[in-house]
Chain A
Amino acid sequence: MEKMSRVTTALGSSTISGRTMFCHLDAPANAISVCRDATQVVVAGRNIFKIYGLEEEQFVEKLNLRVGRKPSLNFSCADVMWHQMEENLLATAATNGAVVTWNLGKPSRNKQDQLFTEHKRTVNKVCFHPTEVYMLLSGSQDGYMKCFDLRKKESVSTFSGQSESVRDVQFSMKDYFTFAASFENGNVQLWDIRRPDRYERMFTAHTGPVFCCDWHPDDRGWLATGGRDKMVKVWDMTTNRAKEIYCVQTIASVARVKWRPERKWHLATCSMMVDHNIYVWDIRRPFIPFATFEEHKDVTTGIVWRHQHDPYFLLSGSKDSTLYQHMFKDASRPVDRANPEGLCFGLFGDLAFAAKESLISGDANRKPYPGGDRRYPIFFFKKPDLTEQFAHVSSALSVFESSLESKRMDWFVKTARLYLLSGKPFAELCDHNAKVAKELNRPQVSTTWTMLRIMFSDPANLSTPGPNHIGKLGTLPLMNSFSMKEMGMGTESRLDRSKGESRQDNIHLELGNSLINSNNDENEETEGSEGQAEYMFGDAELDDDDLYSMDMFFSLVFSAEEQEYTLPQEAFPLRHEIMDNPLAPEHLQQDKADSPQASGNEAEVMCLTPIESFSLISISQPLFSPHLPAPFFCPVVREMLSHYAEQGDVQMAVSVLIVLGDRIRKEIDDLTQEHWYMSYIDLLQRFELWNVSNEVIKLSTCSAITCLNQTSTTLHVNCSNCKRPMSNRGWICDRCHQCASVCAVCHHVVKGLFVWCQGCSHGGHLEHVKNWLKSSSHCPAGCGHLCEYT
């Protein structure tokens, strides 16, 4: 600061003072510029062209340059610049392609001095030479830059960028002859003002337009550029090839960039869209802005430091029709609000904690962590840099490892793997899950499952198996083995039996299955019509008629079979439209589940069941109804689920939710459900339990969850001949024009489902490979690999 005041006095100007202030303009501003002695600022826009005086407490309108009853487009400014040597001289770039100079010294009201209409398109930028009084440079949408001598009527030289529009031109501060130009195609060119035939150097700075560039005021080699790709880059131009030395990633496209005076590492940026703040960055700390000005309500269009040697005053104009003077001391410092502590749980209960060193060392005398202290304080030091104004934070990182068995997450993984969520009748699922929980030494969970089973099973069922189960918690009930046996039998026998003693169980089965059932039916139909039913039902030995007359029991068989095929299915490049299945059954289901109308299907089934069970009650157990209806328990169960979720066992909450399905779903609001699902899926994925997480996604009824399955379903493949990536066709390579995916068995091109070994990458038609592997365990291509197709 002392240095600062010295500089200003050395310059002989009155010390600048002021406060953060603003004034309303009548119209949005496009650009602003300040005169050399920092006492006046010019604001230009489509409908505004005014000069304001900067006073201690406020802006004062000095002059309106927009005169005439119906101002022409020449007044519609895209850019403005105040000459830094000659204080009466201004230049504007008009949207209609005119370059206009203004002389404030003129006595008349219209201060317009010269008018150059050489550009064919909008002029994006004008720039005076920093030391030469009469030299003006312009860059336009038509791809040309023109250099004007203000003593002449027309341009003295034209530079062709050989590309579309020029977005910015800037004279170098130090090199008398050099200027930089940035282009819409991402290039930056360096020119020598004496050589209009060819640029000195060109390099690609950004992807997409480079909106702005700025030379470092002190360091002659540095050029900052900002682009639509949301980056600010600093280039070292002293070497042969322009070298990117710093890069700041912002959150929106960068419209303007200006180096901060007297601060070697600082620059200010504002954005073109969406983000209205002005940021000052320390380029060595590209992740967090050094300072932020948040006053504007719409996009900031122009920023300029008030004085070229004073780093404390920033002026800005905006689309919200205000002109601001920002004081640096009033800026907000995001770094102060940033949290210097970090905390993260590892997968298996480990905990990493980083915090300010001072905080940690204060605790250092504390008693060691009981669970076997494995603390590694790691200290990060950065060489203190005096010029850097960031607060120095040195953090210590400690890692706590939990060694207690109880804290391990093994149970979670095992439970996730072993739980059954669908595919069996409700009671069986409950029993199975109860057993799993019991084996993992979680009696409470186990009991919960059993309770659920009792609460929600049909009263009719409970009469027989109910007591049984309470007696021997979690063992496989007899009923299961019974119905399994039954499934192997033919349709007629089932009918017979269901008339007999196993009636109650059947209802049971139907209840639990209704959901899957309807899904699977659709699957069967599509697959069947494709003539692929043979392998889908491999051993079931059914002829086609049976296939279509199949009832739910066979869909059970089917789902068992299906499990066998889950892996190969994943290996296919699943797209949104699977070519082999014109009806795309999977999406059919999911999308149906999404739409409220479609869920009517399930609802119908569900309302059917109770009626049936009712009639059964009346037959088997007339006049006796010792059990309360299922809805009675719903509030209890809801509470129970919330309890589990709050305790951190979201696994339980979600599993119960899925198993209970419609019985409980309506009781819990969608947002909570979605939240639980999301957390559980997140956990599963951390443990790399992809299959389970996919199952959960598929079984969930929240539309927000089921649609997770639709994202990122592209699989990229390389050509087997030339090893280069293939474009969107799967079977022919664009480059080597070879059919890439040839079936190793039949040597024909595979255009549909393609299965291949992850080991040797040979493969072919699913059926062919399957057949092949029945007889041989070696790869059909003869590579000698022992392939495993599961």
Chain B
Amino acid sequence: RQLCAAQRDRNRADKSVLACRTCRNQRLFKLTVGFRIPRPLGNGPSRFIPEKEILQVSKVDPRTQSIFEDAFAALGRLDNISLVMGFHPQYLESFLRTQHYLLQMDGPLSLHYRHYIGIMAAARHQCSYLVNLHVNDFLQVGGDSKWLNGLDGAPQKLQALGELNKILAHRPWLTKAHIEHLLKAEEHSWSLAELIHAVVLLTHYHSLASFTFGCGITPEIHSDGGHTFRPPSLSQYCVCDIANGNGHGHLEERRGNHQVSEVSGEVEVLMERMKQLQECRDEEEASQEEMATRFEREKTESMLVATAEDEECVPSRDVSRHFEDPSYGYKDFSRRGEHVPTFRVQDYSWEDHGYSLVNRLYPDVGQLLDEKFQMAYNLTYNTMAMHKDVDTTMLRRAIWNYIHCMFGIRYDDYDYGEINQLLDRSFKVYIKTMVCSPEKTTKRMYESFWRQFQHSEKVHVNLLLMEARMQAELLYALRAITRYMT
């Protein structure tokens, strides 16, 4: 009943606010000082997906219903992330179970540390939504509000983690030295188990930030928190923010117009390609050198894919104080001075190595993550847009491997030429932006890829991106830890 009530409130509130909520809201704040009426900033849980497309809490099937109830019981809230993920109840269940375990259940780190690490990770991507959410939780479990003034206010131990956070978020190629630095810091040193917990949390929230931006999650009505944090509308949330529309936007629009004629057949073309790849795979066998160059080419091309605006979007103050060095961002690995060797999955894979390490130091989490990865990777309804009974394995694998490719992780047994066939440019732009600098994701990007696909399928893609990213970061981090241990 409470759920329904909350929903009703939201609906009612929605009706009373007109189209341009954010700006109006801000004006309202200025005009009526001391008279702050909380208003929702967006239409429903996501800016990108029309509210009516998202499942109504009262109308979902019993399974989703019970998952929502569980989530509500565990957290006392049903956040918008869960609502959007509600498109895929099986995954949502696994996701919530993992998240609950990481934040609430037995683990080496104390509760407020966990939330603080969540804040650090989310702030790295300027994800004010997640930051706000966890600031509340952090204070609720008894965290010291001084820490929230910035990383300087936090204990040395957490400050030391800042560097790892930074590297992991943008250029995760960690080395043994990074790990050593954390583990051998005298009194402020981390234990291995704590470090694993921290790493899992960091990667979880980095990738969750990707998802949040990728699906345009709007903040909940209660988490606006006008007093502690400005409404998270400053740089990215306001739909009518001009900055988002101009610049590349025009280009894209123009390109978009060109594409309109082709768009109708987009799905069919994609399916046709998949079929061709399936069939001709055996006939035309690329040489090994060819395969290697294909990987390299995809790698380099992934760098050329421009990530929307290149202008530095200045993070809002409140969020930026949680991390240092805001200029540090994703750098394409081979562009950097030092050469980062390709990470071969066959030498260090999640299933064989990562799992064992995590499970050894943080029992049960390896299992939970394993289930979650498998769930995300294998999830399929055998549909593509309006077509049924399609085997989407190839497409999913292409997406997964493309993301790993951006992080320099290579599968020996994958022909990277397939990616070029299956993922078109606007989709690549979206993936690249979402994974590497999620805060720059715009609604236009979200709309411009896979125009004929349903929102649930786009959310599915987002889940894939999120999990692939998390695994990529984890692999680098765990490999570094393994190297440290041997």
Which positions in A face B, CB cutoff 8 Å? 28, 46, 70, 72-74, 76, 78, 94-97, 117-122, 141, 184, 208-209, 211, 228, 252-253, 272-274, 276, 297-299, 319-320, 575-577, 579, 582-584, 587-592, 594-598, 707, 710-712, 714, 727-730, 732, 734
Of A272, A577, A591, which contacts B143 at CB under 8 A? Answer: A591
What residues of B have a CB within 8 angstroms of the CB of A74 in the complex?
A: 288
Residues A728 and B346 in contact, CB atoms below 8 Å apart: no
Q: Which 7 A-B pairs have the closest CB atoms?
A: A72-B288, A591-B142, A95-B412, A588-B142, A273-B356, A95-B346, A729-B73
> Looking across the interface, which residue of chain A has its beta carbon closest to that of B374?
A164
Given A46-B347, A96-B291, A577-B141, answer yes or no on A729-B69 (Cβ-Cβ < 8 Å): yes
Given A729-B73, A732-B69, answer yes or no on A272-B356 (Cβ-Cβ < 8 Å): yes
CA distance A326 to B69 in the complex (A): 59
> Looking across the interface, which residue of chain B has its beta carbon closest to that of A45?
B347
CA distance A592 to B66 in the complex (A): 36
Main secondary structure, interface of B, reads helix
B328-358 near A? 1/0 per residue, CB < 8 Å = 0000000000000000101100011101110
Residues B356 and A46 in contact, CB atoms below 8 Å apart: no
Residues B357 and A274 in contact, CB atoms below 8 Å apart: yes
What residues of B have a CB within 8 angstroms of the CB of A707 in the complex?
A: 110
Q: Is B403 an interface residue (CB 8 A)?
A: no
Residues A579 and B356 in contact, CB atoms below 8 Å apart: no
What residues of A have a CB within 8 angstroms of the CB of B292 in the complex?
A: 72-73
Can you name 13 A-B residue pairings with CB atoms under 8 Å? A46-B346, A73-B292, A141-B413, A208-B370, A209-B351, A272-B352, A272-B353, A274-B485, A319-B486, A589-B142, A590-B142, A591-B110, A710-B110
> Looking across the interface, which residue of chain B has its beta carbon closest to that of A576?
B104
> Looking across the interface, which residue of chain A has its beta carbon closest to that of B482?
A273
Q: Taking the nearest CB of chain A, how far is it from the CB of B481, in angstroms?
A: 10
What residues of A have a CB within 8 angstroms of the CB of B141 in the complex?
A: 576-577, 584, 587, 591
Q: Taking the nearest CB of chain A, how far is it from the CB of B113, in angstroms?
A: 9
Residues A274 and B66 in contact, CB atoms below 8 Å apart: no
What residues of B have a CB within 8 angstroms of the CB of A319 in the complex?
A: 486
Residues A728 and B73 in contact, CB atoms below 8 Å apart: yes
What residues of B have a CB within 8 angstroms of the CB of A228 in the complex?
A: 352, 355-356
Residues A712 and B106 in contact, CB atoms below 8 Å apart: yes
Residues A117 and B285 in contact, CB atoms below 8 Å apart: yes
B349-380 near A? 1/0 per residue, CB < 8 Å = 00111011100100000000010000000000
Given A253-B356, A595-B155, A734-B66, answer yes or no on A73-B73 (Cβ-Cβ < 8 Å): no
Residues A597 and B144 in contact, CB atoms below 8 Å apart: yes
Residues B111 and A587 in contact, CB atoms below 8 Å apart: yes
Residues B140 and A96 in contact, CB atoms below 8 Å apart: no
What residues of A have a CB within 8 angstroms of the CB of B100 in the complex?
A: 728
Residues B289 and A72 in contact, CB atoms below 8 Å apart: yes
Q: Taking the nearest CB of chain A, how far is it from the CB of B420, in angstroms?
A: 18
Interface size, chain B (Cβ < 8 Å): 44
What residues of A have a CB within 8 angstroms of the CB of B485 in the complex?
A: 274
Residues B104 and A597 in contact, CB atoms below 8 Å apart: no
Residues B142 and A577 in contact, CB atoms below 8 Å apart: no
Q: Is B261 an interface residue (CB 8 A)?
A: no
Of B74, B155, B281, B347, which contacts A728 at CB under 8 A? Answer: B74
Which positions in B face A, CB cutoff 8 Å? 66, 69-70, 73-74, 76, 100, 104-106, 110-112, 140-144, 146, 155, 281-282, 285, 287-289, 291-292, 344, 346-347, 351-353, 355-357, 360, 370, 412-413, 482, 485-486
Residues B143 and A274 in contact, CB atoms below 8 Å apart: no
Residues A274 and B356 in contact, CB atoms below 8 Å apart: yes
CA distance A27 to B125 in the complex (A): 39
What residues of B have a CB within 8 angstroms of the CB of A583 in the complex?
A: 140
Residues B111 and A273 in contact, CB atoms below 8 Å apart: no
CA distance A591 to B142 in the complex (A): 6
Q: A299-B486, A707-B110, A710-B111 are in contact. List 15 more A-B contacts (CB 8 A).
A: A70-B289, A73-B292, A95-B346, A97-B413, A121-B413, A228-B352, A252-B360, A273-B360, A577-B104, A587-B141, A591-B141, A592-B142, A595-B144, A597-B144, A728-B70
What residues of A have a CB within 8 angstroms of the CB of B344 in the complex?
A: 46, 95
What residues of B have a CB within 8 angstroms of the CB of A297 in the complex?
A: 486
Of A46, A211, A594, A714, which contacts B110 at CB under 8 A? Answer: A594
Q: Taking the nearest CB of chain A, how far is it from the CB of B434, in angstroms?
A: 27
> Looking across the interface, which residue of chain A has its beta carbon closest to that of B76?
A579
What residues of A have a CB within 8 angstroms of the CB of B281 in the complex?
A: 120
CA distance A594 to B353 in the complex (A): 35
Q: Taking the nearest CB of chain A, how far is it from the CB of B417, in angstroms?
A: 13
CA distance A184 to B374 in the complex (A): 12
Given A46-B347, A273-B353, A276-B486, answer yes or no on A587-B69 (Cβ-Cβ < 8 Å): no
Residues A582 and B155 in contact, CB atoms below 8 Å apart: no
CA distance A96 to B141 in the complex (A): 49
CA distance A72 to B66 in the complex (A): 52
Residues B357 and A273 in contact, CB atoms below 8 Å apart: yes
What residues of B have a CB within 8 angstroms of the CB of A121 in the complex?
A: 413
What residues of B have a CB within 8 angstroms of the CB of A596 in the complex?
A: 155
Q: Taking the nearest CB of chain B, how far is it from the CB of A145, in angstroms?
A: 16
Of B73, B104, B144, which contacts A730 at CB under 8 A? Answer: B73
Q: Taking the nearest CB of chain B, how far is it from the CB of A754, in angstroms?
A: 14
Residues A584 and B289 in contact, CB atoms below 8 Å apart: no
What residues of B have a CB within 8 angstroms of the CB of A576 in the complex?
A: 104, 111, 141
What residues of B have a CB within 8 angstroms of the CB of A711 in the complex?
A: 106
Q: Taking the nearest CB of chain B, how far is it from the CB of A148, in angstroms?
A: 16
What residues of B have a CB within 8 angstroms of the CB of A714 in the complex?
A: 105
What residues of A have a CB within 8 angstroms of the CB of B351 in the complex?
A: 184, 209
What residues of B have a CB within 8 angstroms of the CB of A276 in the complex?
A: 486
Q: Taking the nearest CB of chain B, how far is it from the CB of A67, in angstroms?
A: 14
Residues A96 and B356 in contact, CB atoms below 8 Å apart: no
CA distance A274 to B353 in the complex (A): 9
CA distance A73 to B415 in the complex (A): 12
CA distance A577 to B76 in the complex (A): 10
What residues of A have a CB within 8 angstroms of the CB of B74 in the complex?
A: 728
CA distance A117 to B360 in the complex (A): 37
> Looking across the interface, which residue of chain B has its beta carbon closest to that of A71?
B288
Residues B146 and A597 in contact, CB atoms below 8 Å apart: yes
What residues of A have a CB within 8 angstroms of the CB of B353 in the complex?
A: 272-273
What residues of A have a CB within 8 angstroms of the CB of B360 in the complex?
A: 252, 273-274
What residues of A have a CB within 8 angstroms of the CB of B111 in the complex?
A: 576, 587, 591, 710
What residues of A have a CB within 8 angstroms of the CB of B346 in the complex?
A: 46, 76, 78, 95, 122
